[in-house]
Amino acid sequence: MRNPRSHCPVSLALEAIGDRWSLLILRDLIMRGKRHYQDFLNSEEGIATNILADRLGRLERQGLISKSQDPEDKRQFRYSPTQKGLDLLPVIVEMARWSKKYNPHLDPASPLLRRLDADNEDFMKQILSQFKETFSK
Amino acid sequence: MRNPRSHCPVSLALEAIGDRWSLLILRDLIMRGKRHYQDFLNSEEGIATNILADRLGRLERQGLISKSQDPEDKRQFRYSPTQKGLDLLPVIVEMARWSKKYNPHLDPASPLLRRLDADNEDFMKQILSQFKETFSK
Is residue A10 a contact partner of residue B24, using CB atoms and an 8 Å limit? yes
Which chain A positions have a beta carbon within 8 Å of B112's beta carbon?
8-9
ipTM at complex level: 0.90
Chain B residue closest in CA terms to A1: B103
Pick out chain A residues at pLDDT < 70: 1-5, 135-137
- What are the counts of helices (DSSP H) followed by strands (DSSP E) for chain A? 8, 2
DSSP letters of B15-61?
HHH-SHHHHHHHHHHHHS---SHHHHHTSTT---HHHHHHHHHHHHH
Which chain B positions have a beta carbon within 8 Å of A20's beta carbon?
11, 14-15, 19
Residue B109 identity: A
Confidence check: pLDDT of B1 > 50: no
Interface check for B3 against chain A (CB to CB < 8 A): the answer is no
Residue A14 CB burial class (10 angstroms; 0-12, 13-18, ≥19)? buried
Between residues B120 and A78, which one has the greater pLDDT?
A: A78
Average confidence (pLDDT) over B16-31: 94
* Interface contact flag, B90 A98, Cβ < 8 Å: yes
Run of H or E residues at A77: strand A77-81
Percentage of chain B surpassing pLDDT 90? 67
Phi, psi for residue B79 in degrees, rounded to 5: -105, 145
Residue A129 CB burial class (10 angstroms; 0-12, 13-18, ≥19)? exposed
Which chain A positions have a beta carbon within 8 Å of B88's beta carbon?
98
CA A15 to chain centre: 16
Instruction: Write the CA distances from A82 to A2, A87, B61, B124, integer angstroms.
Output: 21, 8, 36, 28
**Average model confidence (pLDDT) across chain B:** 89
**Farthest-apart Cα atoms in chain A, separation:** 46
CA B20 to chain centre: 10
CB within 8 A of A102, min separation 6: which ones?
B16, B84, B87
Which chain B positions have a beta carbon within 8 Å of A46's beta carbon?
5
Q: A68 in helix, strand or coil? A: strand
Please tell me the predicted confidence (pLDDT) of residue A115.
Answer: 79
Is residue B55 a contact partner of residue B18, using CB atoms and an 8 Å limit? yes
Interface check for A44 against chain B (CB to CB < 8 A): the answer is yes
What region does A99 belong to: left with phi over 0, alpha with psi -120 to 50, or beta?
Answer: alpha
Which chain B positions have a beta carbon within 8 Å of A86's beta carbon?
none
d(CA A36, CA A56) in angstroms, rounded, equals 11
Confidence check: pLDDT of B39 > 60: yes
What one-character DSSP code corresponds to residue A113? Answer: H
pTM of the model: 0.90
Mutation test of the interface with chain A: which of B10, B23, B51, choosing the one with the most A Cβ atoms within 10 A?
A: B10
d(CA B137, CA B132) in angstroms, rounded, equals 9
Q: How far is B135 from chain A (nearest CA, A)?
A: 22
pLDDT band at B108 (very low <50, low <70, confident <90, very high): confident
Please tell me the predicted confidence (pLDDT) of residue B49.
Answer: 97
Chain A residue closest in CA terms to B10: A96
d(CA B101, CA A78) in angstroms, rounded, equals 27
Average confidence (pLDDT) over B67-84: 94
- Write down all domains in chain B, each with its CATH number in brackets: 9-136 (1.10.10.10)
Please tell me the predicted confidence (pLDDT) of residue A38.
Answer: 96
From B14, B16, B95, residue closest to A10, measured CB to CB: B95
Confidence check: pLDDT of B2 > 60: no
Interface check for B109 against chain A (CB to CB < 8 A): the answer is no
* Interface contact flag, A13 B98, Cβ < 8 Å: yes
